[in-house]
Amino acid sequence: MKKFVIERHLPGAGKLSSEELAGITQTSCAVVDGLGKPYHWVQSFVTDDKIYCIHIAESEEVVREHAAKGNFPVTSVAEVKAVIDPTTGNW
């Protein structure tokens, strides 16, 4: 399984209500359940005009399938090659 960062351009995303965000969440979870493939939505970050999502899937094609079935915009999909944090340099 691979980890992906998905950028979704969604004007006004930061102004979505809790109910609207809950609706997006429900749609995404329903699509994941119906994919019939290993897939995990880890987390999403909502900014003013974009949503950045972290998903784990077998391939970019499956990530794009999830987006298509959920009617979610996809600006870009990038496979994560490494994860670093403040402890990375502490040996």
List, in order, residues 6 or more apart from 2 with CB less than 8 Å away.
Answer: 56, 57, 58, 59, 79, 80
Position 36 scores a pLDDT of: 93
Split at pLDDT 50, 70, 90, the class of 82 is very high
Delimit the domains of the chain by residue range.
Answer: 2-79
Contact call for residues 16 and 46 (beta carbons, < 8 A): yes
Q: What is the pLDDT of residues 2-19, one digit of tens each?
A: 999 999 999 999 999 999
Position 89 scores a pLDDT of: 77
Q: What's the rounded mean pLDDT across residues 50-78?
A: 97
**CA-to-CA dists, residue 86 to 54, 61, 89, 90, angstroms:** 20, 32, 7, 8
Contact call for residues 10 and 74 (beta carbons, < 8 A): no
pTM over 0.85: yes
Split at pLDDT 50, 70, 90, the class of 87 is confident
Could you confirm whether domain 2-79 is CATH 3.90.650.10?
no
Q: What is the pLDDT of residues 35-62, one digit of tens each?
A: 999 999 999 999 999 999 999 999 999 9
